[in-house]
Amino acid sequence: MVCREQWDTWHRGARSEPASHNGDMERRRANRLNWNRILERRFDVVYLQSPTFTGYVTRLFLDRMSEPLHKELLGCRYCVADSGYCWLHHFPAGSRHTVTTMIDSNGAVVQWYIDICASHGVDADGIPWFEDLYLDIVVLPSREAILQDADELNAALVEGKISETQYELAWEEAHTLMRDIANGTMPLLDLAVEHLRDHFAG
C-alpha cells in the first residue's frame, strides 16, 4: 500500500506552472474498438440500480486475441488480457472514477484498474464513455494499491489539457479511493464477480 509520505511527495512534486486550459481531454469508450489485438469479441451493456451499486456496467469478453497483454507491477509480470478473458467495466453514477475488473479464463480476478475521470456518460450508440483525468490506481487481489501516471497528470496541466480545478479534483478523488481501499470500504471490488454472474449471460 502507498504510504502517506509517498502520497504527499507525489502530490507536491506533480504541481508545475499550468498553461491556459484548452479542454483537450481524451474521451474513452468502453467497447475499445481501437484495440487491434482483439480479433473476436462480445460486448454487453446493462444499467443496475441497487442499494450497493447504481450505474452502467459493461462486459467486454475477449474471445480471441492476436497476443496476450502483460504488465509489470511491483517486480511481477501479470497477464491482464488474453483469449478467454473478460473485462467488466463499472461506471458508478455520480462518481469521478470508473473501475475495470480484469478476469482470467478461469474466472479469477487478475486486477482492478481504476481510472480517475472528469466525467462519464453514455453516447448516442448506448456505449458508456469517460473523460480521462490521467491518474490511475491498480489494485491487486492482495488489495495492494498502486498509484500510476502522476507524471501524465502533471503534463496535462502544464500543456493546458486540464484546468487547475480538474487537477485538484483528480488528486482528491485518488486520495479518497486510496483511503477506501486501505480501509476495506470500497465494496465495488467485491461486487464485480457477482455482477458478472448475475447480470450477464453466456
| Beta carbons of 99 and 114 less than 8 angstroms apart | yes
Domain ranges of the chain: 4-199
- Read off the pTM: 0.88
pLDDT at residue 7 greater than cutoff 60: no
Full DSSP string of 78-115: EEEE-TTEEEEEEEETT-SEEEEEEE-TTS-EEEEEEE
Enter the DSSP assignment of 26.
Answer: P
Sign of CA dihedral 67, 73, 78, 82: negative
Distance between CA 45 and CA 56 in Å, rounded? 7
Q: What does the pLDDT read at residue 75?
A: 85
pLDDT tens for each residue of 34-82: 999 999 999 999 999 999 999 999 999 999 999 999 999 888 899 999 9
8 A C-beta contact, residue 78 and residue 93? no
pLDDT at 31 over 60: yes
Query: Which residue reads 451499486 in cell numbers?
Result: 53
Q: Report pLDDT digits (tens) over 115-136.
A: 999 999 999 999 999 999 999 9
For residue 24, the model assigns a pLDDT of 63
CATH domain 4-199 topology: FomD barrel-like fold (2.40.380)
